[in-house]
Amino acid sequence: MKTVLKRTLALLLVLVLTLGSVYIIDRVLLLKRYDGVKPMQSFYAQEPGTVDVLLLGNSHMGVHVDTATLWQEYGISAFALWGGVQPMWNSYHFLVEALKTQTPKAVVLEIGGLSYDWAYADEATQLKNVAGMKPSRNKWEAVQVTAPQDRWAALMLGLPLYHQRYGEVTQEDFNYFPWSEGLVNEKGSFALYGHGNFDLGDAAAITEVAEISQKSLDYFGRIVNLCREEAIPLILVKTPTVDLKKYQPYCNAVEQIAAREGLAFYNFNEMGEETGITGEDFYFDTHLNLAGARKLSRSLAEILLDTVMLTDHRGDSAYASWDVNAENINDGYLRSIMEAADYITELQRGGRAVLLIKNGDWENREPYLGFVKELSKLGVSEEELLSEGSGAWLIDQAAGQVSQQGSSFVIDGKDYAVDFAQAAVTENGSIVYSFRDLGITLLVYDYGCGKLLDTVDFLHSGYFELNRK
């Protein structure tokens, strides 16, 4: 009897170890797509009942609405649960998954997914719209509607489709376990830097009404019904797009459906005056850059506050992860900027300390004169910047100190010194940056993370274009 018991326990131990190993391998090899997989994985880390506004849809939701702006400027705890090229059936199953742990005060649905007229997306899109979900009945139902039957088992298990990723594994692949720190700070939205130059056209001039596929209509109806059952206000939006010929006919169709169903629908392609969005607020493709996303988010926030009872959670320790999310988005965006004017504009948003170093002397003519006008917006006067010789200024926005000239400064309790002879900046006696001759250097300190966030040079020889080492 003891022998049978020992063998049974041994088999159970082997089974547990095997399943545990497979689980860990699956989590490591899981495709860490920012569109679909990462939002869902991060959503599971959110404290139950903290997501007040759930943002659903395709990339026009995940990229076009900025959770940092909604939080910092309005105190709205929003989460963007989205997937690239996400059809309505995946949005529906994402909603079902979300309601297992959250009780949102509003659901905002991007209706771009209604424009897809295929029965199944391509295989890569199928995977990213289900791979991040935990095994459950809901995932199984999502898999069945997402792909043909011959792919059901592989999509449900996931590992058979991405097991070959061994050679691609990075440190990030080990950060998406349920116990991983930091996931709670991610709120789904994705920021882009870069400027297109698009003619947005006149959406109202397009009167054609598109025919929406029956499959899309069916799952759109399920989203509507589920929100009604849960007494959650559903707000339909079409975020700005440069492809009006494709999307506006579907907006016209949704406008009719919304009127018939008593749903709120906001077509931001026809609300340019309200948002202030222009062709330069788009990335190089059809998505908004973060400057445009911030504009749209402000308009959306005003709509939400006018139509839904929302609580401003700023200052509530239970919602501190939204502070970190906003900081991460804004810091990442600053580090991605490559144009001098954009960089200075971003710094004007405040909340940081900027150590401005002018190294060398040169004639006060263009392009420096134009650059000085931009720099003066940070608080150092044009006269000081045009004076002869080198100099250093501390612009401490968080402390409300416009500018302080010198060579030794205190930032967040740390001693910084600028040594022009050595062309170096020290922090508590240790060199943290070596700057260049004949140029302007900006060292940006972020109080949230408690360290230097970014360092950039604008060199005389490069006509004061932004440079990073």
Residue 398's pLDDT is what? 75
C-alpha atoms less than 13 angstroms from C-alpha of 462 in its C-beta half-sphere: 15
For the cut 60, the answer to whether the pLDDT of residue 28 exceeds it is no
Residue 437's pLDDT is what? 81
64 vs 349 pLDDT, higher one: 64
List Cβ neighbours of 106 (8 Å cut-off, separation of 6 or more).
52, 53, 54, 232, 233, 234, 235, 304, 307, 308, 310
What are the boundaries of each domain within the chain?
A: 1-28, 31-328, 350-467
pLDDT in tens, 126-146: 999 999 999 999 999 999 999
Average pLDDT over residues 192-205: 92
For the cut 60, the answer to whether the pLDDT of residue 295 exceeds it is yes
For the cut 60, the answer to whether the pLDDT of residue 72 exceeds it is yes
Average pLDDT over residues 373-384: 92
22 vs 396 pLDDT, higher one: 396
Q: Kindly tell me the sign of the dihedral angle through the C-alpha atoms of 54, 58, 60, 62.
A: positive
For the cut 80, the answer to whether the pLDDT of residue 17 exceeds it is no
β pairing state of 106-110 and 53-57: parallel
- Band (pLDDT 50/70/90 cuts) for residue 159 is low
Q: Do 90 and 126 form a contact (C-beta atoms < 8 A)?
A: no
Quote the mean pLDDT of the chain. 91
pLDDT in tens, 205-263: 999 999 999 999 999 999 999 999 999 999 999 999 999 999 999 999 999 999 999 99
- Band (pLDDT 50/70/90 cuts) for residue 29 is low
For the cut 80, the answer to whether the pLDDT of residue 156 exceeds it is yes
Instruction: Indicate the range of 87-96, 115-124, 169-178 predicted with least confidence.
Output: 169-178
| CATH topology (fold) of 31-328 | Rossmann fold (3.40.50)
Q: Please give the structure tokens belonging to residue 371.
A: 């650059």
Average pLDDT over residues 28-38: 74
Residue 9's pLDDT is what? 67
3-state secondary structure the chain: CHHHHHHHHHHHHHHHHHHHHHHHHHHHHCCCCCCCHHHHHHHHCCCCCCCCEEEEECHHHHCCCCHHHHHHHHCCCEEEEECCCCCHHHHHHHHHHHCCCCCCCEEEEEHHHHHCCCCCCCHHHHHHCCCCCCCCHHHHHHHHHHCCHHHHHHHHHCHHHHHHHHHHCCHHHHCCCCCCCCHHHCCCCCCCCCCCCCCCCCHHHCCCCCCCCHHHHHHHHHHHHHHHHCCCCEEEEECCCCCHHHHHHHHHHHHHHHHHHCCEEEEHHHCHHHHCCCHHHECCCCCECHHHHHHHHHHHHHHHHHHCCCCCCCCCHHHHHHHHHHHHHHHHHHHHCCCHHHHHHHHCCCCEEEEEEEECCCCCCCCHHHHHHHHHHHCCCHHHHCCCCCEEEEEECCCCEEEEECCEEEECCEEEEEECCCCEEEECCEEEEECCCCEEEEEEEECCCCEEEEEEEEEHHHCCCEECC
Residue 170's pLDDT is what? 78
pLDDT in tens, 380-407: 999 999 988 899 999 998 777 777 889 9
- Band (pLDDT 50/70/90 cuts) for residue 23 is low
Percent of the chain at pLDDT above 90?
75
Closest CA to 382 of 358, 398, 409, 360: 358
For the cut 80, the answer to whether the pLDDT of residue 4 exceeds it is no
For the cut 60, the answer to whether the pLDDT of residue 101 exceeds it is yes
Percent of the chain at pLDDT above 70?
91
- Band (pLDDT 50/70/90 cuts) for residue 6 is low
